[in-house]
Structure 1
Amino acid sequence: MVKKSSQQRDLFESERSFRLLVEGVADYALYMLDPNGIITSWNIGGERIKGYSPQEILGQHFSRFYTEADRANGKPARALRIAREQGRYEEEGWRVRKDGTFLWASVVIDPIYENGALVGFAKITRDITERRNAQIRLEAMQTQLAESQKFDALGQLTGGVAHDFNNLLMIISGSLHILKKGDPEDPRFQRAISAIETAAKRGAALTGQLLTFARRQSVNPQAIHLADRIEAIREVLYAGVGSAVHLAFDIDREVWPVKADISEFETGLLNLVINARDAMPDGGTVTIGAHNIVLDDPLHNGEYVAITVNDTGLGIPSDVVDKIFEPFFTTKPVGKGTGLGLSQVHGFAHQAGGTIKVASELGKGTTFTILLPRETAAASNETPDAATVRGSGTVLLVEDNPDVALVSTGLLEQLGYSVRRVADAEAALRELESDGVDFVFSDIVMPGKLDGLGLAHLLRQTHPDLPILLASGYSEAAAGVRGDFPILRKPYEIHELSEAISKLPR
């Protein structure tokens, strides 16, 4: 009898100690639910986190902590079912306090069994709102850092781009002088036309690459052909090195695809090229290479692609090499660099599942090597068809710039179309009151209350069967279309215009 009494006393003390422990925990809401989700116990942590006293909450259903949307979607019942069927339920999500404010909670629900029968659930809730907010702030700072890295690289391009565009303008203006004074039968006449055409194409390519390079976008890894991507930004790379540095390429013809974010890759390569340029104040050669390689080391094993940027510059002192990938570390004079370039390359390489290595010798130069794993998925490598297709019908051209309108009208007429031209969206709506328009070709950025995109959306309501083709040379405006309408990017060539028109629904 004495032994039994002692056991009961020990059990009572054990239960009392456990109850005091649970009730005294202030950082966690620890409480019990019956099998139907009714709250049967409550602790000081629950009161602190959710705002309810035991008298207010005991006997209430735990679903009152959920948002109205979650309750409507049946989330509380689903949580108990998952805990019962899978042995545990865990999630993070919004919960509602007594005063109606929200908290971001980490939630764990465990089923409690006695003699094989479900007697309820143990529920643990932790308020991690501050942790989540800190994570959001960190991600925002990382995004801002990535943007600053990108625009630091763009800033380094300014001089080279201005030089290139001045050369292009010189070619165009000089050739136009020959055309004005020359004889159409003179060979120089045709050479001048070819020079203008080449300069226009190079200017368009350089502008397009800069707009693509500068765009704000989320990281989107995809399979890419390195040779194609390097070729796609060749003009930007030439602008980056300037006239005193020779840019060479050593790309294997059969180099494997890799999986990486295209924008991050282009930014990283440009950063390495600019870094190499700055290491050669008296000029030299920068060589960009890409080769297949098989690695056999503990961290990186298997088939990789080695992307190299080699310069013939000053080299990096041994006491500096270990610091070059640190953010904001730079040996350049004030105003010549932020120290973000190599940090971005390091981050990109590791984000893509690879690494970056550096080999340098004072007075002889430096080689940076980005190692990226081989990607077995096929990379897109389509080439556009340059053929033009003659059409017929009447086009309503909406273009506020008279010079651009003149050129666009000429291209459309060459393709066989009759053209009615108006300068803004309001005039386009008046013109469409009369019949005879087969499709609308409109610029996006225009003066007035309604731009080209607004016009397109309005016409989709008032003239649902009327095909619409949009055009813009401004990347932000084009991004706003979001696939709702076909868009042609300026400057365009006649075969691109023909192809875009041929794809319009009729």
Structure 2
Amino acid sequence: MKPWAADGGGESMRAREAVVQAPVRQEAELLRRLLDALPYPIFWKGRDLRFLGCNTAFAKIAGRAHPDEVVGLTDYELPWRKEDSDFYRACDRQVLESGEPFPDCEEPVRGSDGRQRWTQTCKVPLRDEQGALFGVLGILVDVTARREAQEQLQVALAAGDAANRMLKAQVAERDAMQRALTVSELRLRTAVRSSAQMCIWAVDAQGIFTFSDGGGLEVLGLRPGQLVGHSVYQLYAEHTETLGHLRRALTGESFTGYSSFSGLNYETRYTPVLDESGTVTGVIGIALDITERTRYREMLEAEVERMRRQLLQVERLATLGTLAAGVGHELRNISTVLNSLRTYFTDCAQRGVPPEQEELEELGWACEHVAMHGRHLMDLGRPGQSKVERMDLRELVSGSLAMLRTAGITKHVKVLSSTPPKPVWVEASRTRLEQVLLNLMSNAADAVEPVRDRLAEVRVHLFEDEAAGFACCRVEDTGIGIPEDKLSCIFEPWFTTKPPGRGTGLGLPVVRTILQECGGELQVESQVGMGSAFTFRLPLVGPHT
């Protein structure tokens, strides 16, 4: 091949690569411009907590001329204080370990100019196309002005309180105190107007506005001072909750109240104003818009409740699967009996003779056992079964032991149980309490399975603590025990000491959650090589009347 031909082919290849890569470079450049155009500092790190990139705003506070100069560095190589760097990295690790966003938090950031700023930081996990975590993304919003405004407000309020006390004690210095109050009012107006989420108002003893100011008034379509001279009872006649708060403050009580206006949620601090004789002459209110905070709290609470219900159902299904395996074996044995009886009844029908009573009884036994196994599995697997009822805990203990025995889970274990001679009444969801017993008992059976040098034994002891008003159930085993350094982790979701494939790591967290919802508690004692004991307590209730 001629040299010029080879060179021409290489140039052609490079040209094609340039054509293919041009859109990628253009998209990357566009993304870079978008990030640099944002006023908020943004960064992203890898799993080793080294910076993978940032925008120009972040590079600026880090004292770097270009975002590329931050790539590959750690927080310790930037102008942060060591204690601040430790905190940032701890938050990053929490996001990487949990796989969940880190809630908005305010944290100090000392830039290259040596000035300390306060930022409201949100950190979220970064995932690749397969969903695997590969880093963390952080967005910083400068809230220094807001914090300074809050601090100025606190200083102003403190100055106002001091002035009020001095007026009561030193009547002769009233003019000087009036000047101090005027200065405090000016400082208060400055602080309040600098915050778009805050407003302050005052009314006299008749409910007439004497003052209204703050950046938060604009959101309500009001101007500073626009409410002065108007009656709160006429303007907000439909807001009975707010009027109730005002009347309460006019009795002389200081408190924090919550209310809604035009779809916005407010947290208001009510402070009565007293004259020298202690008579209430009015009320001062400081209102803070907490709409976003309320929304995020409600979202978080809803997500926590959804996850809690999912954990309960997952563990219930895991328990159901464990029982189903043993019940399947038992049903296979019963099917052998039924097949034998079918052959026998067919032969009797062909010969025209009635079947023997013993064979009929055996058929009834087989049918009853099939129905019993079906009921057990359906009750445990039925979603949303959480009806609270009064029950004798002795029946649940014996029923759970029978279910585990039928499923073959305790076939290799010596099981001892002791219950009081009289009923032990508790009030809870039968299915969920049955789930608690099945989980603790099956865990005990699993714990003694590897034991070879002593008797494999599970003991269930039900008793009443009448002095404390609790029913107590203690499930002990002579198994391998739990190491002391792992005892504090056994109630964490997904943690398990069982071999792979034998446990979900959700059983004990779910058990404790169920008991806490019933007003009970769960305690654990364990010694390596000796065994473990789990004791749960539930409030006693009286029998049916």
TM tier, shorter chain? 0.5 to 0.7
Which residue of structure 2 aligns with residue 180 of structure 1? 346
After TM superposition, the score normalised by the length of structure 2 is 0.55
Deviates further, 210-219 or 267-276: 210-219
Cα gap change, 1:215 to 1:169, in 2 (>3 Å): same
Which residue of structure 2 aligns with residue 447 of structure 1? none
Which residue of structure 2 aligns with residue 211 of structure 1? 378
Which residue of structure 2 aligns with residue 54 of structure 1? 223
Q: Decide whether the 8 Å contact of 1:172 with 1:199 is kept in 2.
A: yes
Cα gap change, 1:26 to 1:232, in 2 (>3 Å): farther
Give the counterpart letter for 2:426 in structure 1. V
Q: Decide whether the 8 Å contact of 1:247 with 1:287 is kept in 2.
A: yes
Which residue of structure 1 aligns with residue 357 of structure 2? 190
Distance (Å, rounded) in 1 between the aligned partners of 2:438 and 2:235 = 52
Query: Which of the numbers 245, 262, 266 marks the counterpart of 2:434?
Result: 266
Distance (Å, rounded) in 2 between the aligned partners of 1:139 and 1:232 = 30
Give the counterpart letter for 2:184 in structure 1. S
Cα gap change, 1:111 to 1:377, in 2 (>3 Å): farther
Distance (Å, rounded) in 2 between the aligned partners of 1:87 and 1:351 = 35
Which residue of structure 2 aligns with residue 228 of structure 1? 395
SS class of match (2:345): helix
Distance (Å, rounded) in 1 between the aligned partners of 2:222 and 2:345 = 89
Distance (Å, rounded) in 1 between the aligned partners of 2:256 and 2:383 = 35
Query: Which of the numbers 313, 323, 326 marks the counterpart of 1:157?
Result: 323
Q: Decide whether the 8 Å contact of 2:416 with 2:460 is kept in 1.
A: yes
Q: Write out per-residue CA displacement over residues 182-230 of structure 1, whole angstroms, 9 at most, x where no aligned residue.
A: 3799896323332332333333233223222233338666543111223
Give the counterpart letter for 1:15 in structure 2. E
Which residue of structure 1 aligns with residue 309 of structure 2? 143
Distance (Å, rounded) in 2 between the aligned partners of 1:179 and 1:357 = 55
Q: What is the correspondence of 1:423-438 to structure 2 with a 5 Å cutoff?
A: none
Cα gap change, 1:58 to 1:286, in 2 (>3 Å): same
User: Shift of the alpha carbon at 1:290?
Assistant: 0.8
Which residue of structure 1 aligns with residue 473 of structure 2? 307
User: Shift of the alpha carbon at 1:55?
Assistant: 5.9
User: Shift of the alpha carbon at 1:75?
Assistant: 4.6
Q: Percent identity?
A: 25
SS class of match (1:292): strand
Higher helix share: 2
Distance (Å, rounded) in 2 between the aligned partners of 1:207 and 1:37 = 71
1:17 aligns with 2:180: no
1:43 aligns with 2:214: yes
SS class of match (2:543): coil
Which residue of structure 2 aligns with residue 124 of structure 1? 287
Distance (Å, rounded) in 2 between the aligned partners of 1:7 and 1:343 = 60
Deviates further, 361-370 or 340-349: 361-370
Q: Write out per-residue CA displacement over residues 387-426 of structure 1, whole angstroms, 9 at most, x where no aligned residue.
A: xxxxxxxxxxxxxxxxxxxxxxxxxxxxxxxxxxxxxxxx
For structure 2, which runs of at least 5 residues remain unmatched after alignment?
1-171
Q: Decide whether the 8 Å contact of 1:156 with 1:274 is kept in 2.
A: no
For structure 1, which runs of at least 5 residues remain unmatched after alignment?
295-300, 381-506
Cα gap change, 1:354 to 1:113, in 2 (>3 Å): same
Which residue of structure 1 aligns with residue 46 of structure 2? none
SS class of match (2:422): coil
Q: Write out per-residue CA displacement over residues 13-41 of structure 1, whole angstroms, 9 at most, x where no aligned residue.
A: 13323333444455544334565586951
Structure with greater Cα Rg: 2
Query: Which of the numbers 455, 459, 471 marks the counterpart of 1:287?
Result: 459
Deviates further, 103-112 or 197-206: 103-112
Q: Decide whether the 8 Å contact of 1:39 with 1:61 is kept in 2.
A: no
Q: Decide whether the 8 Å contact of 1:304 with 1:371 is kept in 2.
A: yes
After TM superposition, the score normalised by the length of structure 1 is 0.59
The root-mean-square deviation of aligned C-alpha atoms, in Å, is 4.1
Distance (Å, rounded) in 1 between the aligned partners of 2:421 and 2:408 = 25
Q: Decide whether the 8 Å contact of 1:206 with 1:235 is kept in 2.
A: no
1:320 aligns with 2:486: yes
1:343 aligns with 2:478: no
Distance (Å, rounded) in 2 between the aligned partners of 1:24 and 1:244 = 73
Which residue of structure 2 aligns with residue 429 of structure 1? none
Q: Write out per-residue CA displacement over residues 316-336 of structure 1, whole angstroms, 9 at most, x where no aligned residue.
A: 344434433332221222222
User: Shift of the alpha carbon at 1:96?
Assistant: 4.8
Q: How many residues align?
A: 361
Distance (Å, rounded) in 1 between the aligned partners of 2:265 and 2:408 = 47
Query: Which of the numbers 412, 417, 420 marks the counterpart of 1:249?
Result: 417
